[in-house]
Structures are given as structure tokens and as C-alpha cells.
Amino acid sequence: MDRRAAQALDSEDPLSGYRTQFTDDDGGPIYLDGNSLGRPARAMVESVNAALHDWSANLVGGWSRWIDLPGAVGDRVGRLIGAGPGQVVVCDSTTVNLYKLASAALTGRPGRPVILGDADDFPTDRYVLQGLAQAVGRQLRLLPASTGEGLTTEDLAAAIDSDTALVCLSHVNYRSGALLDLASITEAAHRHGALILWDLCHSAGAVPIDLDASGVDLAVGCTYKYLNGGPGAPAFLYVRRDLQARLRQPIWGWFGQRDQFGMGPAYDPDRGIRRFLAGTPPILGLVAVDTALSVLETVGIPALWSKSQQLTALLSDLVRRRLEPLGATLATPRDPARRGAHVSVAHPLAWPWCQALIDRELVIGDFRPPDVIRLGPAPIYTRFVDVYDAVERMEGVLAAGVEEDPRPHSVLDALLGRDAPVVGVLDLAHLGCGVG
Ligand SMILES: Cc1ncc(COP(=O)(O)O)c(C=O)c1O
């Protein structure tokens, strides 16, 4: 594969026309961080502006249109993740939604002492489960994978038993990009009467998901990665219809109340998905997500996934042929059927290598400790030639020699660049943990 072959793939790409809805081809950076924060669609500027004008013109009267947005936008997210209407709402952050649903699941499985998770899962997932297990007196069991390629259905099937109340897993691992078999793991949990909660942050909007057909109980995910909803855009949660009236979430807020404006003395939750809301939804973020979804809906998941698989196949192949001889290793499953939509590369000097790529080569991926650079070529706006050029620049930097970089390993610090003032580094490092 040479550069001309990559350009040929772009010229045959049925999705190539969508790129201009996100970016000018202006010689800007090669953006391979769509798995951390997607690009904004141009249409969002107009729709968010219109929402601001609506607010300005109608003031509090706008709420008659805004109040149902969590459910309306939720139904649209549902279409991308195989969920029928009335089972998804867009609200709060992934962290908060994970807490709400994990906690609700435990109330639905009293007397079962064990919560099962992935030892290599995203920090917030592990921390939320740790806190919850401690608070309600259950035991958290975090499973290590039996191979270097992430947890398998067999690993999980062997660990789930009649003591398991809840299995909580990420569909695609944030660091390695390993893709779990959502349907067969869901079935394994159900065989033993456990509930399952999937974190779809790294799959929603890129990887095919069929929550209803797979019989999934609960799911959460963010809207700022492949769904392109913007920094801090609200997350989504899914609760299968037949479970909704039976599960109770722990945040008894007025947006979950059956008669919200009755202002009654006691909490009496809505019977449906609204009971999983808590407080006032972030309307500007919801409007942004709604617009971002319109663009994705016109393309559809099958086309996005097909291009994503081609992009990750090209990327993995280039990593193996051009970076592995220089001491890097592909840190994503080699079997394409076990990969999500991003590819990771390990190298002992991954941190300074990643910084050099951002600072000098305008290749934006991100670093994840201890030694991984993640590359997320979001299919709707990434070209094959971007993938080719990025690996060529990565090769150039490695071949020229990478030196240790004393800067703290934080995403935000990296993006601020070499001259970022030292004051505030601790704060930024802390914030960086939440990005991606
Ligand atoms: C897999 C996964 N789960 C949860 C989160 C946390 O999401 P939030 O910070 O929106 O709560 C992230 C953030 O990137 C993530 O990658």
C-alpha cells in the first residue's frame, strides 16, 4: 500500500462527501482522536445559535419545547444502537448514568453478593463500581483477561454464577480497542440470572449494536466521541422496557417524578424511562447532540462500520509493516473481528513520541498509560490518506529518535503544548483523566 493506493480508496469511498460537513481540507492537523472528542458538524453552529435565539426571544416559555428533549434525542440515539423508542434518555454524564443504572441493578438483584467487571476497564467504570460496592456492602470482582486480546466470552462465562448480581463491561476497551461479544456475554449473564450493564462509549456511532435483539438489560454511553455531540455533551442511558418499572435509580430528582409539576411531598417515580432522569437537562448540549445525530442518521451504522473496518485494517497493517520494525507493537487485537473502531500502538517511549507527533507533525492521537498511543479514525470524516500520512509521520519521528519527555502525562497538558505554564499543571492533569 502506497500513498496513491490510499488516495484511490478515498476516491471510491461512498462516505467521502460527508467530510466537508465537518472540516475544510485546509492543511490542518491529521485528527485521529475522534474516539476521544469528535469533530463538530458545521450544522451545529446554526442549530445551537438558533437555540440561543429561541432562549433570548421566548425566555422561560422555551421549556415547552425543551422539556421532552432527553426522550426525543434518546429515541434518536436508540436508532443507532438498536433500541426501540421509549428506552433511551440523554442526560447527565456517563459516570453519573453508570452509577444510576449499576445502583438500580443491584436493587433488582438483592441477596447476590458479587459485581463483576473488567480489571482493564476505563477508570470511571472501575471507580463507580468500587464506590457502589463499598456503599451497599457487595463485593467487586474485576477480571483480568486470560489473553493479551481482552476479555473473552469464555473468561466471563467461567466467572459468572448464581452469586453474580451485575456484570458491567465496556463493549470496546478504551485503551486496546478490543471488542467484546455483546450478545453472547449478555446471554452468559442471563443464564445465571445476573443483570448486565454495557458501557458503549467507544462503540456507539461506529460499531453495530443491537440492544433489543441481544436482550441487553442496561447500557450507558457518551455522545462526544463518535456521536460528535461536543465537549461535555450529555450522555445516554438505556433501560430495557420491561425492566423500567421494576428498577429504581438512587437519585430521586424531580425530573424522574411521575407528576413533575405537582410538586408533591413524596417521590413517586414515572413508570417509564423518565424515572431515570434526575435534574434539569442541559438544553444547549441536547440541541448539539440532536444535530450531530442527523448527520450520522443519513449515513447509517452499516456504512460507518464498513468504512471503519477498512480504516482500522489499513492502520493495523501499516503499523505492523512500518512501525513494528522500529520497536513499536500493535496493541489492538490482530483478529479484525475482535477490534472496535480505534487502533492502539505500544512503545516504551509512547508519551514523548505522542507529544512529538502533536507538536511537530500535527498528528493528533492520544496517549494512555503506561505506553500506548491510541489512533481513532472516525469513519465519517477521516480519509484513508490521513491514516497513511499519519503512520508515515509516526515512522519518521521514531526513525529520527525519540527522547524522554519530563512533562506530566496528561492529555490536556499535551494539547496545551510545550510552553504551557507550570502553574495549574496539577489541575490540568486531574482534568485530563476525564477526557477520553
Ligand atoms: C469507556 C468510558 N466510560 C466512561 C467514560 C467517562 O465518561 P464521562 O466523563 O462523560 O462521565 C469514558 C470517557 O472517556 C469512557 O471512555
Catalytic residues: 122, 199, 224-225, 374
Mean pLDDT along residues 128-148: 95
State the chain's mean pLDDT as an integer: 93
The reported pLDDT for the residue numbered 408 is 65
Q: Measuring CA to CA, which residue among 196, 290, 203, 187 is closest to residue 240? A: 196
Atom of ligand 1 nearest to the CA of 36: 14
pLDDT, tens digit (0-9, with 9 covering 90-100), for 33-52: 999 999 999 999 999 999 99
Q: Check if the beta carbon of residue 302 is closer than 8 Å to that of residue 21.
A: no
User: If you measure from the C-alpha of residue 41 to the centroid of ligand 1, how many angstroms do you get, rounded to a whole number?
Assistant: 21
The reported pLDDT for the residue numbered 420 is 40
Torsion region of 385: left, alpha or beta (phi above 0 gives left; psi -120 to 50 gives alpha): alpha
189 lines ligand 1 (CB under 6 A): no
List the 235-239 sheet strands across, edge first. Answer: 88-91, 235-239, 218-221, 195-199, 164-170, 114-118, 139-143
The reported pLDDT for the residue numbered 235 is 98
432 lines ligand 1 (CB under 6 A): no
94 lines ligand 1 (CB under 6 A): yes
As a whole number of angstroms, the distance between CA 238 and CA 244 comes to 10
Is the predicted pLDDT of residue 434 greater than 60, yes or no? no
The reported pLDDT for the residue numbered 430 is 34
- CA 68 to chain CA centroid, nearest Å: 24
Cell of 176: 486496546
As a whole number of angstroms, the distance between CA 178 and CA 226 comes to 16
Atom of ligand 1 nearest to the CA of 435: 14
User: If you measure from the C-alpha of residue 367 to the centroid of ligand 1, how many angstroms do you get, rounded to a whole number?
Assistant: 16
pLDDT, tens digit (0-9, with 9 covering 90-100), for 358-409: 999 999 999 999 999 999 999 999 999 999 999 999 999 999 999 887 766 6
Preceding peptide of 336 cis, ω within 30°: no
- CA 395 to chain CA centroid, nearest Å: 28
434 lines ligand 1 (CB under 6 A): yes
As a whole number of angstroms, the distance between CA 331 and CA 371 comes to 10
Q: At what angle do helices 123-136 and 94-108 cross, to 10 degrees?
A: 40
Q: Check if the beta carbon of residue 287 is closer than 8 Å to that of residue 51.
A: yes
pLDDT, tens digit (0-9, with 9 covering 90-100), for 321-348: 999 999 999 999 999 999 999 999 999 9
Encoded amino acid at 12, one letter? E
371 lines ligand 1 (CB under 6 A): no
CA-nearest residue for atom 12, ligand 1, is 436
Q: Which residues contact 279 (CB under 8 A, 6 or more apart)?
A: 253, 254, 255
pLDDT, tens digit (0-9, with 9 covering 90-100), for 149-190: 899 999 999 999 999 999 999 999 999 999 999 999 999 999
Half-sphere exposure of 250 (CA within 13 A, CB side): 15
